[in-house]
């Protein structure tokens, strides 16, 4: 707690010695480099101004969009929007690019409906000969150069812009930050851990198992089996067969 109070007091003293914020620098207003408006005194001079077209703020949805990039870096692409714009394009890599860049030979077409309600279609080829569009509404051949109207030096009236006035910014004054005050941390106080107290385990008590008691098995009692009784079979009774004549059949003897 005392250390925290000392650090807080030192921080407050250092804050009192910090330099005040520098005053805001006052710069001259930015010069105006816009050229003066051109004036043509000749009323018969041609007027090349055109009214900027007015576009609707509606954002049309893309109904269909495809892009197919093949392994040889050739591609096919197409898209179609809900306001009747359709475009398709295919290209293949060719030699003759700038440096390490790859050049393409491209051909494609696009169509749209103009403000006059007419459907316009443009087909084009873009290769080493440049962009070459074709369409029924385009002049043939398509001009690549347009004449620039000549204006004599006496017709032009330019007003030179005033020279800008520069003011040196005031020198920035740097003030050294106060040296930080470091205080050594108090030495830690180490206390020896108390010696552990060991107690001997009590001696185990062994008890002798009781002696087993053996009992003699009873003597077996043997009984003599009764003597078998034998009875003599009765003597057979024989009867003498009666005499019979030779003509009579002798009866069969019967034994009992």
Is residue 27 assigned to a domain? no
What does the alpha-carbon distance between residue 90 and residue 69 come to, in Å, rounded to a whole number?
Answer: 10
| Predicted structure pTM score | 0.35
Is residue 80 assigned to a domain? yes
Is residue 194 assigned to a domain? no
Is residue 78 assigned to a domain? yes
Domain that holds residue 91: 62-134
Strand order in the sheet with 130-134: 62-69, 75-81, 86-94, 103-113, 119-127, 130-134
Pick the closest to residue 147 from 46, 37, 43 (CA basis): 46
What number is the average pLDDT over the span 115-119? 90
Is residue 164 assigned to a domain? no
Is residue 86 assigned to a domain? yes
Q: Measured at the alpha carbon of residue 107, what is the angle toward residues 101 and 113, in degrees to the nearest 5?
A: 125
Is residue 228 assigned to a domain? no
Q: Could you give the number of structural domains in the chain? A: 1
Mean pLDDT taken over the chain = 76
pLDDT (tens digit per residue) in 21-49: 445 555 555 555 555 555 555 555 555 55
pLDDT (tens digit per residue) in 175-234: 888 888 888 888 888 888 888 888 888 888 888 888 888 888 888 888 888 888 888 888
* 202 vs 89, higher pLDDT: 89
The answer on pLDDT for 147 being more than 80 is no
Is residue 73 assigned to a domain? yes
The answer on pLDDT for 100 being more than 80 is no
């Amino acid at each position: 707690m005392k250390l925290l109070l000392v650090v807080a007091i030192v921080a407050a003293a250092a804050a009192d010695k910090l330099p005040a914020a520098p005053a805001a620098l006052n710069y001259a207003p930015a010069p105006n480099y816009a050229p003066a408006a051109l004036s043509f005194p000749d009323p018969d001079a041609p007027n090349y101004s055109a009214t900027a077209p007015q576009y609707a703020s509606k954002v049309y949805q893309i109904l269909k969009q495809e892009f197919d990039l093949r392994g040889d870096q050739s591609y096919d692409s197409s898209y179609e929007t809900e306001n009747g714009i359709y475009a398709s394009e295919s290209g293949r890599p060719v030699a003759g690019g700038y440096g390490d860049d790859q050049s393409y030979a491209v051909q494609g077409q696009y169509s749209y409906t103009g403000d006059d309600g007419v459907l316009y279609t443009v087909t084009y080829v873009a290769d080493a000969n440049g962009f070459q569009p074709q369409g029924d509404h385009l002049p043939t051949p398509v001009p690549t150069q347009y004449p620039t109207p000549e204006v004599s030096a006496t017709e032009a009236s330019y007003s030179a812009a005033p020279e800008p006035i520069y003011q040196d910014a005031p020198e920035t004054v740097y003030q050294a930050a106060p040296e930080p005050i470091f205080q050594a941390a108090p030495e830690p106080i180490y206390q020896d851990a108390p010696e552990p107290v060991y107690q001997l385990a009590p001696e185990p008590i062994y008890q002798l198992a009781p002696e087993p008691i053996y009992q003699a098995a009873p003597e077996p009692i043997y009984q003599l089996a009764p003597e078998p009784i034998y009875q003599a079979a009765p003597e057979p009774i024989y009867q003498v067969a009666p005499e019979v004549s030779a003509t009579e059949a002798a009866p069969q003897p019967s034994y009992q």
